[in-house]
């Protein structure tokens, strides 16, 4: 290796560091839980805000109130990933808790419905509260 080319490396690294953030990828993905951050908006409006802020994806809880026929094409148009959905109706939903053996069937039914919904929203992740 030539010494002169070695001496240019710090300059190249400095030039890379001063590139605008929009031209660099951070090497990791960030997603936003939309209900908590963008209150009072529809899911579609929340997704547009996520894309506008240049996040990679969004997460949402109430998939039952969302139409995958609307959300999935919009997600793709905006270049977003549906990072995850919530797999149950809340932290301790009546008849569907994770800890009470009497709720096993209700819990498993809810998880099955959520897994099917995850396919419609094109996500591979589900959070269980």
| 88 contacts 113 by C-beta, under 8 angstroms | no
Query: Each residue of 84-110: pLDDT tens digit?
Result: 999 988 777 888 888 889 999 999 999
Q: Which of 20-29, 49-58, 68-77, 112-121 has the lowest mean pLDDT?
A: 20-29
Residue 103 resides in a domain: yes
pLDDT at 15 over 50: no
Q: 122: domain CATH number?
A: 3.20.20.150
Residue 90's pLDDT is 75
| 70 contacts 44 by C-beta, under 8 angstroms | yes
Domain extent for 63: 27-127
Q: Where are the alpha helices (DSSP H) in the chain?
A: 3-17, 34-37, 43-52, 68-78, 104-120
Burial of residue 47 (number of CB atoms within 10 Å: 0-12, 13-18, 19+) = buried
What number is the average pLDDT over the span 44-64?
Answer: 95
DSSP state of 55: -
Residue 22's pLDDT is 55
Residue 1 resides in a domain: no
Residue 20 resides in a domain: no
pTM of the model: 0.74
The token pair at 22 is 């929009």
| 118 contacts 83 by C-beta, under 8 angstroms | no
Residue 4 resides in a domain: no
Residue 72 resides in a domain: yes
Percent of the chain past pLDDT 70, that is, above it, reads 79
Split into its structural domains, the chain has a count of 1
The token pair at 53 is 């802020």
Residue 6's pLDDT is 44
Q: Name the pLDDT band for 25 (thresholds 50, 70, 90).
A: low
Percent of the chain past pLDDT 90, that is, above it, reads 63
């Amino acid at each position: 290796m030539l010494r002169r080319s070695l001496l240019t490396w710090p300059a190249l690294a400095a030039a890379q560091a001063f590139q605008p953030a929009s031209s660099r990828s951070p090497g990791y993905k960030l997603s936003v839980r939309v209900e908590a951050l963008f209150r009072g908006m529809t899911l579609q409006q929340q997704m547009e805000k996520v894309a506008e802020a240049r996040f990679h994806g969004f997460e949402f809880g109430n998939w039952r109130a969302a139409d995958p026929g609307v959300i999935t094409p919009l997600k793709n148009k905006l270049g977003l990933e549906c990072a995850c959905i919530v797999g149950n109706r809340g932290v301790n939903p009546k008849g569907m808790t994770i800890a009470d053996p009497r709720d096993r069937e209700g819990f498993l039914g809810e998880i099955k419905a959520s897994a099917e919904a995850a396919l419609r929203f094109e996500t591979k992740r589900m959070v269980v509260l």
